[in-house]
Structure 1
Amino acid sequence: MLLVIVLAAAAAAAGFLVTDHLRRPQPTAQQRSVPTPSAYAGADAAPRAAAATTTPVPSRAAIATALRPALRAAGLGPRVLAQVVDARTGSTLLDRSGGTGAAPASTLKLTTAAAVLAVHAATDRIRTVARSDGRGTLVLVGAGDPTLSAAGAGERPRYAGAARLADLAAQVRRAKVSVRRIVVDDSAYRGATVSPDWAAEDVPSEYGAAITPLLADGGRADPDDDVRSATPDVAAGKAFARLLGRSSLPVTRTATTTATGRVVAAVRSAPIATLVEQMLLQSDNVIAESLARQVARSQHATASFPGAAAAVRAVLRDRLGVDIGGGLRDGSGLAPADRISPAALTALLHAVVRSSNQGVRGITGALPVAAWSGSLAPRYLSGASRAGAGLVRAKTGTLTGVSTLAGLVHTPRGGLVAFAVFADRNDDTAAAQAALDALVARLATCRC
């Protein structure tokens, strides 16, 4: 197995407070004036039997009254799909065509997060190795670490806690093996490296790269690049040669396993739970696709776009009891053809909150906080949405014409609700996001 387990106990999550795994800018003046995100304490604690809870289930009528005007907001466009459930009991509090499948955009990453933490311990790490055949060929065997860093020794990696190619190169030098060429072993994955369901402009772009078993810095040729690479495996091989002090070494790739030589160097990724948090906070598509393939590999399925999608569905059904349907085309939500319903996402959030698996339950603490962290840091700062600042924790989603939001929020009376809202026919992303935020903020203030 290329995925190894760290012999350490996972630390218990303490409420919904954000852990600082990513480099983040200092809070703006607006962010400093919003509440610290502390309203989630206890939501990821060990679940109790539904009958034992003393918190009343929010009123369906009150929820409907609170959300009715917000659901009619012009910014949402002509179609809104929504579902709100009690996160602890799963009972439906509001349904507006919630069972209809639609493009979820990046809220789909919730499925990848739950699936990978259902099959791997939060402390598992992904191992990248270098093998020598003793005759001058050094093989870099990629196992799907999406944050492996090409930063030089002493330089800060793009992703906190990342394994380093510089460390791998140092180990190779200490091993004193002959290196005349570098081969990148891509055999861990199969099929297309770019989904046929993605738009042509998605790769290369700031948000999309080809998905290969060996890549560095989220698929970038250089840690400081904004645009990612269409050939990140070869770019990583060339970066390794540079870090080895041998930039002129030829670099080739192979889709056939070459794992027969002696292992002369190895590095391990940040823990899976850290990768999940980095994916969710920054909505990182390359991390998402890499983690979806870890799910496929754990199930001995084909590590490809369709293989990973099928494996995620099977794991969520078999491990968490949630059927998300067969509409997934990828693990990130970048494909406009992806289909999942708001009801499937609220069912998944309910399962996450109630899970006895500490890693799965920890997803609640990895979600962006309104006006505070990740993709929600610049939102909920003003206007009608400001009431949700520090109180809403959710995954965002955006494609052309599609704006979505799915997550958790506490009501003033102590209820915990899960929600998923899709505005999938809008023509103004900014207006749709503002309307979604204002809608969910009403849950945060509803004395339901």
Structure 2
Amino acid sequence: MPRSRSFALVLAAVAFVATPAADLVTPASARADDALTRDLDAIIGSTALAGADVGLVVRHADTGAVVYSRDGDERGQPASNGKLISSAAALDILGPDHRFRTTVAATGGERGGVLAGDLHLRGTGDPTMLAADYDALAAEVARSGVRLVRGKLVADDTWFDAVRLGTGWAWDDEPYYYNAQISALTVSPDTDYDAGSVIVRVAPGEAGRPAAVTTEPPTDYVTIAGTAVTGAPGTASSVSVERQHGTNVITVRGSVPAGGAVVTEWSTVWEPTGLVTSLFHDALARHGVRVLGGTGVGATPADARVLGEHRSMPLSQLLVPFMKLSNNMHAEILVKTVGRAVSGEGSWDAGLRAMTAKLGELGVDPAALSLRDGSGLSRMDQVSPAQLAALLVAAKREPWFRPWYDSLPVAGNSDRMVGGTLRNRMRGTPAEGNVRAKTGSLTGVSALSGYVRTADGTPLVFAMISNDTLTSAKPFEDAVAVRLAGHREGSAPPAVRVATEPLPDRQLECSWTKSC
């Protein structure tokens, strides 16, 4: 997916179309510097955005004074800017020290290494669980002395409800890891913590022979089908990987050149609980623990004896991969976790009710928005730039602000866990290393909201949401951020060039493509 271009400081090279300023709300100090208002008008009033719904709000980060507002109260789909709301609400409700807990417990008597009852593997939604962590739990069972389980291995995912996919999610996104199913028992294939998915690797063999296909973690829970072959050296790779709807059959087609690089793709699984059960059953066997009764699902009895436990990193640390890489599954797991914490119900409805109720304390009018998920993947979410800007101002007063602020992508920083989804944007401009903001992308939807410090040291927040676009709005978002970063009140304004981009056929967050 194309990324934004660099900004040449030649305003004359770009023809902006100015728009009426009747709907601007600016304090006297901002009106005294009409150049900023005029330039922001010109950027978001470009003919390239004609017909789109574009809203922008800029406020002083400390005082909250409105510097600029155009269509700020108009609601639109926020895409991943919705994660600003879900992450802030989760921090406030759960606390930055919240950790997810995964346990294995036993029922029935144990004698001579033989457990007469069942083993219960219980999850609470930890998206950071890796296959190695389940292996470590299996080792704890073995260290407890259990060698034979006469009962079942019972998977307990009852911490959350059984609804796996969010309201308003697109059916054709279901095979892709940014649209994985949500379960209280889940596993990630990597330290990006893409919960509910596996990595599929397609390696070349000899020319004309089948390609070698493996998964991470290794598992027979999914079935690899297809006709991927090894092409001639130097030919282009044409590999496609897609899970068939409603199944765990992953079809791999196309060719990979002999001597070429391994092709790596991510795929969701159908029912993450089943994948975890399979991995843990295999791990028990590796550690010498046999289960005679097969596997099942169900709640862990209250009197079960805990044999092993894994605790996740604290939420303050999880925020980094969550927000830097715009991880949808982290957002949805937090929504259900909040629901469970507040009302004992790990569902989207309960979690969103709790989060919405909290918003009034975080500067946001809960009556002025509508949320159907925590990630912004739903096409039914409705949020205005004014509400996001209000949240950004209010968050600065909260005790959890520092880890939240640090989790935002940093413009132009090439480190994935620093720059995140902004790592390739605004390089070589006053915004590089300055702007910290959350991105958001769906086809026809783009958003950028966060913090910037002007050239004369004024801290600002800004929130921009664009809907119904036929061209990428990202260059215009960047132009706004660069203009704010270079602003010096009373001085000649910096010139900003906008290099427009066509709208990709599939417009997604940078990190979701794993390639930019």
TM-score of the pair, normalised by structure 2: 0.68
Residue 375 (structure 1) aligns with: 421
**SS of equivalent to 2:306:** strand
Q: Which moved more, 1:109-118 or 1:238-247?
A: 238-247
> Given residue 323 of structure 1, which amino acid in structure 2 is its aligned partner?
D
Distance 1:267 1:275 in 2: 15
The residue aligned with 1:137 is 118
Matches within 5 A, 1:132-281: 132-134=106-108, 135-151=116-132, 164-177=133-146, 178-179=148-149, 181-217=152-188, 218-221=195-198, 223=216, 226-245=266-285, 250-254=294-298, 256=299, 258-281=301-324
More strand by share: 2
Aligned to 1:16: none
Name the structure 2 match of 1:315.
Answer: 358
| CA distance in structure 2 between the aligned counterparts of 1:446 and 1:146, rounded to whole angstroms | 41
SS in 2 for 1:420: strand
User: Shift of residue 362 of structure 1?
Assistant: 2.5
> Conserved in 2, the CA contact under 8 Å of 1:130 and 1:138?
yes
Moved more, 224-233 or 169-178: 224-233
Partners in 2 of 1:374 and 1:262 — Cα distance? 42
Name the CA shift for 1:402/1:64 in 2 (closer, same or farther; >3 Å): same
Residue correspondences, number: 374
Aligned to 2:225: none
CA contact (8 A) 2:57 2:72 kept: yes
Note the C-alpha offset of 1:66.
3.2
Map 1:347-366 onto structure 2 (within 5 A): 347-355=390-398, 357=399, 359-366=400-407
Instruction: Summarize deviations over 1:365-409 as a string: whole Å, max 9, x none.
Output: 110001111111122236xxx332211110000111101111110
Higher gyration radius (CA): 2
Q: Note closer, same or farther for the CA distance 1:90–1:329 as it changes in structure 2 (3 Å cut).
A: same
**Contact 1:86 1:418 survives alignment (8 Å):** yes
Amino acid at match of 1:105: A
Distance, in Å, in 1 between the alignment partners of 2:328 and 2:383 is: 17
Note if 1:341 corresponds to 2:341.
no
Give the secondary structure class of the aligned counterpart of 1:434. Answer: helix
Taking the aligned partners of 2:184 and 2:169, their CA distance within structure 1 comes to: 19
Q: Is the 8 A contact 2:167 2:372 kept in 1?
A: no
The code of the aligned residue for 1:374 comes to G
1:322 maps to a residue whose letter is V
**Residue 423 of structure 2 corresponds to residue 446 of structure 1:** no
Flag the 1:125–1:146 CA change in 2: closer, same or farther, 3 A: same
Taking only the aligned residue pairs, the percentage that are identical comes to: 35
| Helix, strand or coil at the partner of 1:368 | coil
| Partner-residue secondary structure (3-state), 1:93 | strand
Deviation at 1:252, TM superposition (A): 3.0
**8 Å Cα contact 1:58/1:415 also seen in 2:** no
Cα deviation per residue 1:243-290 (whole Å; 9 max; x = unaligned)? Answer: 223599643333x45444111110000111111221100000011111
Per-residue CA deviations over 1:407-430 (Å, capped at 9, x if unaligned) read 1100111111111101111123xx
The Cα of 1:364 is off from its aligned counterpart by 1.0
| Aligned pair partner of 2:55 in 81, 103, 123 | 81
Deviation at 1:136, TM superposition (A): 4.2
Q: Note the residue ranges of structure 2 that are not aligned, 5 or more in a row.
A: 7-26, 109-115, 189-194, 200-215, 218-264, 414-418, 490-516
Stretches of structure 1 lacking an aligned partner (at least 5 in a row): 1-29, 32-55, 152-163
Q: Do the aligned partners of residues 215 and 96 (structure 1) sit closer, same or farther apart at CA in structure 2, a change above 3 Å counting?
A: same
In the TM superposition, residue 133 of structure 1 has moved relative to its aligned partner by 1.3
Are residue 420 (structure 1) and residue 463 (structure 2) matched?
Answer: yes
1:116 aligns with one of 90, 93, 105: 90
Residues 258, 57 of structure 1: alpha-carbon distance in 2 compared, 3 angstrom cutoff: farther
- Scaled by the length of structure 1, what TM-score is found? 0.78
- Which of 36, 44, 55 is 1:71 aligned to? 44
CA deviation string 1:13-72 (max 9, x = no partner): xxxxxxxxxxxxxxxxx99xxxxxxxxxxxxxxxxxxxxxxxx99725453123122112
Which residue of structure 1 lines up, in the alignment, with residue 254 of structure 2?
A: none
The 2-side partners of 1:277 and 1:387 are apart by 24
Q: Which moved more, 1:97-106 or 1:303-312?
A: 303-312
Aligned residue number for residue 233 of structure 2: none
1:150-185 deviation digits (Å, cap 9, x = unpaired): 14xxxxxxxxxxxx2122111111112333532211
Do the aligned partners of residues 194 and 89 (structure 1) sit closer, same or farther apart at CA in structure 2, a change above 3 Å counting?
Answer: same
Q: Which residue of 2 aligns with 1:44?
A: none
Aligned partners of 1:147 and 1:287 also within 8 Å: no
